Structure 1
């Protein structure tokens, strides 16, 4: 149907929720959650109840609804319930501080927040500072009736399971995601109704070959762009099933979850894969991961030794790739049957990528420059950041902020974030290359390398190293690591300075915060 002034109607909730019921798989399990199994029809009913309940609160098209929820059926129902009525759900990181939640609520101007009981208890002392907030919907652990708060279960339980879809089109705003804010305040990234289907068609279908027979499990949470695809709209788009875990995914919990629910696709980040490998080697536990047909990594470059050890331990490949909040999901990736370890792989079908110099001119193979991309899932822009939009979104192209080179075979190789690169002796050095070499040493669990200035005002690499359990740090071990690196790297690249740490500073997505190490 097409209406003058609106165009062809499209709503993402119809694509990812209603379509499965219409296709006759309403009785199939959509979500495995703790000891519950939620079918596609039950999920559709709950989506519709949330949409109706939001309308009863006066939520209109384009109104913002903040979601501070753990991974759960309530998260998915609230997300698509808002989208179905044309409102804008905004999932946010549940591990943030009360001050961060104040920022999210005030910056987004959300009039409604849907959140878990313990999260609300952490921030309710700031309620007077939430200048736009009108309604607080709380997912209570037990039956509660607290003045000023609305019980999610009563609120949705009293709403109809029949819901008319809002009049929206492909180019309407559908949801926001806040960037991780590792170098400043988080930015509200505006995604359109079309973006999830674009990412699903490009990566989930063409790279993962996802089907209704798959079960996905993502250690990265739904409020991240990466986790949202992995654990929500990828499986929903395919008529597959997802495993949701509300708790933080420790290595032990990840292994237990895979053994219990038997997923076929697992999504993690490099630091988690390193910890899982360490757990398996340290305990000697022969974890049964035989249900997995493929694993995926993103967020940081996956060190080649991790890929090799994982395959040796569990007999399954890890597909390394790169995505971003602005692009919604992965746009360069290794493929099933086509993995070049240490590389990020090739451009995902549906996207284009170029390596350019500071003037925007495309560089030939094997020259390091700035990675720019274009594709249909790229965000509309940032909320309320005019100057940043002009810098980041250049016509059809997105400036990723990553340094890369492409080899003669079309594989892309990550060199680091643009502000992480260092010039040593007049030559650009990638911290990733040094880190990957360090991880090859048997005592190293994790490593991060940054450039520091010497007393002579010269740049030199410094390595921060986390050792494996029961390995004792010493000056002798520093010298051993330096000697090892001299065999692995060009002489000017090896770090003259090494410092041992108990842990590296990271974002909640698992990305190493090198700027904190530089400081």
Structure 2
């Protein structure tokens, strides 16, 4: 063998050994002939289109700009970026440079931004111009940041995204191990302060090979629209890793996903896959009742974030003619690991384990529970996080060997389907028997006047826990609380009905749509 041939083999082996996720999700498409295919299409703002070829070049140039700015491997790149084409450029570009992108919720307060950005010890912050007013107070005292890059007009002391990347070399993806840290996500804070969840390069492909390919069945010709934003683990899979795994196209929308906006995108862009959350599906149904069935080209929908009420799923399927694949996932597992499947959907359940994942239900002694019994859900699979940042005790209690504790309470039916009962922190006993807030909530939203509901325990005059319901009514509806109580009694039993019913304008939620029941328990509604 001559020297040239030997060097070519060595180079090929080195390329094959590079597990940098950007190679699979971005650069691979150029060699496979998709350079001119749209990867991302903006539905608002400038309505720009980003092709796979442009993404490969622009992400490489952003990587070159980071390296030119003396960013070292594993330094964090904080991203407070709306759903716009710069998001994938920064996310994959940071990975190409060996840095760690940290997408952050775009709907937080200055105080929370201050805590998260400081906690991550990011050295570079990239922020959308529209969010600068809220982010700027959060970084005034930050000493770790060496560069602040603004997408749009750059205020004093910052650099515009254009200026930051202009003239930078297009950097090839650095060589990474599949178990090397790739990106962080901060948990949504449904039960308290957000935690930095650290994921490795192989996790993205693991979720697209399992849920994306074997449950969703996403195809190259699909167009996806996800109302869940890309900073959220659910949205990151929906809008980035799943479509990019097969060379599909994603419609992105930086604005607030109101029913009018969502219906407009379904009509104008004709996505074939729509990824929503229960709150929005309920709002869309309420809007459709007023304005009629929207035009669309959907073949499939997905839901996660909160368990989908049975009544919402059934009404949507009748109205739209496309099933909702409801499942459960977590930031710690990156995406959905327990799900219904197309053609095998039972609304009101979370379905069965996604191929590639195993689940267990255990009691307080970590003993397996049988069908019909309530237990905590444990999961193991290839996309589990490496752990929490600076939360050693929480990492130890959540990640136990191969198993990850979800904090969710579930019941397994005799047919092997899993029924959500509530968060471990949300469950409570009435007359010595466990009550699932979700079961009561599902009965409440079956009432024709109720749009949304949340149930928490409240002490009665004998200092015993009883259910209290907070309900949001549909537009133009009124409610007799006693009639609602009787309605629930008939649905699920005498002892589970809410002793108190409070009508509210809205329920406290995270930006990802999860109800923050701890705020209701603390009276912070």
SS in 2 for 1:485: helix
2:500 corresponds to which residue?
497
- Which of 31, 35, 49 is equivalent to 1:26? 35
Q: Secondary structure, in 3 states, of the residue corresponding to 1:163?
A: coil
> What is the match of residue 397 of structure 1?
403
* Per-residue CA distance 1:265-322 (angstroms, 9 max, x = gap): 0001101100000000023x23112x11100000111011111111111111101100
Q: What residue in structure 2 maps to residue 81 of structure 1?
A: 93
Q: Which residue of 1 aligns with 2:215?
A: 207
What are the equivalent positions in structure 2 for 1:300-311 lying under 5 Å apart?
Answer: 300-311=306-317
1:352-431 matches, cutoff 5 A = 352-431=358-437
Is contact 2:83-2:229 (8 Å) kept? yes
CA shift for structure 1 position 26: 0.8
Return the alpha-carbon distance in structure 2 between the equivalents of residues 92 and 158 of structure 1.
28
* Distance change >3 Å, CA 396–CA 2, structure 1 → 2: farther
Quick check: 1:439–1:445 contact (8 Å CA) kept in 2?
yes
**Structure 1 residue aligned with 2:510:** 507
Which residue in 2 is equivalent to 1:149? 158
- Residues in 1 aligned to 2:362 and 2:443: alpha-carbon distance in whole angstroms: 27
1:227 match: secondary structure: helix
TM-score scaled by length of structure 1 = 0.96
Residue 262 of structure 1 contacts residue 292 of structure 1 at CA under 8 Å; is this kept in 2? yes
Matched position secondary structure for 1:399: strand
CA distance in 1: counterparts of 2:48 and 2:348, whole angstroms: 39
Question: Contact 1:452 / 1:460 at 8 angstroms: preserved in 2?
Answer: yes
Q: CA deviation at 1:7?
A: 11
Report deviation, 1:145: 5.7
* 1:129 partner SS: coil
Report the Cα distance in structure 2 between the residues aligned to 1:294 and 1:212, rounded to whole angstroms.
Answer: 15
Tell me whether 1:264 sits opposite 2:276 in the alignment. no
Aligned residues: 510
* Conserved? CA contact 2:60–2:173, under 8 Å: no
Alignment-derived partner of residue 72 in structure 2 = 60
In structure 2, distance between residues paired with 1:254 and 1:360: 43
C-alpha distance in structure 1 between counterparts of 2:197 and 2:221, whole Å: 32
| CA shift in 2, pair 1:27/1:447, >3 Å | same
Residue pair 1:366, 1:408 contacting (<8 A) in 2 also:
yes
1:426-462 per-residue CA deviation (whole Å, 9 max, x = no partner) reads 1111111111111111111111111111110111111
Q: Distance in 2 between matches of 1:37 and 1:506?
A: 32
Work out the CA distance in 2 between the residues paired with 1:2 and 1:425: 69
Note the C-alpha offset of 1:184: 2.4
Give the whole-Å Cα distance in 2 for the aligned partners of 1:354 and 1:50: 43
Taking a change above 3 Å as real, the CA distance of residues 234 and 465 of structure 1, as seen in their structure-2 partners, is same
TM-score, structure 2 normalization? 0.95
Matched position secondary structure for 1:138 = strand
Cα distance, 1:262 vs. partner? 0.5
Structure 1 residues 105, 437: closer, same or farther in 2, change over 3 A?
same
Looking at structure 2, the residues matched to 326 and 2 of structure 1 have their Cα atoms a distance apart, in angstroms, of 35
Tell me which residue corresponds to 2:7.
none
Q: State the alpha-carbon separation in 2 of the partners of residues 181 and 127 from structure 1.
A: 21
CA–CA distance in 2 between the matches of 1:379 and 1:58? 28
Decide which of 194, 203, 207 is 1:186's aligned counterpart: 194
CA contact (8 A) 2:80 2:128 kept: yes
Q: Matches of 1:177 and 1:125 in 2, distance apart?
A: 22
Counterpart secondary structure, 2:140:
helix
Q: Distance in 1 between matches of 2:267 and 2:503?
A: 34
Task: Tell me if 1:435 matches 2:441.
Answer: yes
Give a deviation string over 1:33-85, Cα, whole Å, max 9, x none: 13322211011111111100111111111011000000111010000000011
- Indicate if the aligned counterparts of 1:402 and 1:415 stay in contact, CA closer than 8 A: yes
Q: Does 2:286 match 1:278?
A: yes
Task: Give yes or no for contact 1:2–1:9 (8 Å, CA) kept in 2.
Answer: no
List 4+ stretches of structure 1 deviating above 6 A.
Answer: 1-7
Tell me the SS of whatever aligns to 2:414. Answer: coil
Unaligned runs of 5+ in 1: none
1:81–1:499 distance in 2 versus 1, CA, 3 Å: same
CA distance in 2, matches of 1:278, 1:109: 43
Distance (whole Å) between structure 1 residues aligned to residue 13 and residue 92 of structure 2: 26
d(CA) in 2 for partners of 1:254, 1:36: 18
Structure 2 gaps, min length 5: 1-9
Name the residue aligned to 1:118.
Answer: 130
1:6–1:169: 8 Å Cα contact kept in structure 2? no
Tell me the CA shift for residue 5 of structure 1. Answer: 13
Whole-angstrom CA distance in 2 between matches of 1:66 and 1:321: 29
- The alignment status of 1:313 with 2:319, answered yes or no, reads yes
Deviation at 1:354, TM superposition (A): 0.3
